[in-house]
Amino acid sequence: MTTGFCQALSALMVGGALVLGALQMALAAEPPLIERLEALSDADYDDLLDFVEGNALFTLYHEAGHMLVSQLDLPVLGQEEDAVDNLATISMLQSGDADMDHLLSQAMLGWFLSASDAYDDLVFHGEHDLDLQRGYRMLCLMVGSDPDAFGELAADLELPGDRVETCPADYDQAVAAWDGVTEAHRKPENGGGLRWIEVRHDPAPEDLAPFAELLKETELMEVVAQEMDDLYRLPAPVLFRSTACQEANAFWDPDAREVILCYELLGAFAELFLEVLAEDD
């Protein structure tokens, strides 16, 4: 699926800028999302869920990074958003699992798809880098970790050769940075101990039910929660919760000590995929 998806993505790129059109205006005239999901072929629906799963998993690792910075009082040089993007990418790469590499590729492509083609909409003073920057930074870390596995993807997305050559150093630096700041908080290998992270899935509205079911079936939240519990000594209990938020979002709430993943965000990932599918047709 990745090769065909990259081809569709490349067809939407002009001079290095992603052109998706006026997505919000288009969606206003579309049937409800649930109806469009039901109209997909089995193959397209599976590909859509694959894309949503990869982006949701990366988001969970990203928000878990914010949780670690907050709970462990970690020092962060530069933007925290960049640091936790790096953690999410590194965590998925270090699993050593081909399926995880594939899901990470889906998440990386998600940043390209969410990039704005309208310069008036670009926010240069925000706490997040531009989506294309985040996508290319992820891609560089991926290539830096394994040029053979991700070299073709980098070529498809036109990451310059001279930049590819510097990516292994970027990857090593990102790994060393996270290892350094978390070393004092790591549990001994196979250290076990109490489980501090609970996972809860709230009921989803009918139109977002497929995404709630996806989270339960794949156990994405449980995977990330267990990894954080296995690796780090947390000072207090934490809740990972999926819920309806009335907005497409995910966030770490330090006061409640909750990582929140909104069902609406998974719906937004699906909308991105459907936009590319429509352009490809």
What pLDDT digit, counting tens, does each position of 160-211 carry?
Answer: 999 999 999 999 999 999 999 999 999 987 656 678 999 999 999 999 999 9
Domain boundaries defined on the chain: 2-29+42-280
Tokens representing residue 230 in the block: 């296995």
Angle at 232 between CA 226 and CA 236, to 5 degrees: 90
- pTM for this prediction: 0.85
Lowest mean pLDDT among 49-63, 120-134, 159-173, 251-265: 120-134
Residue 31 has pLDDT above 60, yes or no: yes
Amino acid present at 253: D
Buried b (16+ CB within 10 A) or exposed e, 83-119: bbbbbbbbbbbeeeeeebbebbbbbbbbbbbbbbbee
> pLDDT, tens digit, for every residue of 84-113?
999 999 999 998 888 999 999 999 888 888
Q: What's the mean per-residue pLDDT of the chain?
A: 85
Q: Which amino acid is at 97?
A: D
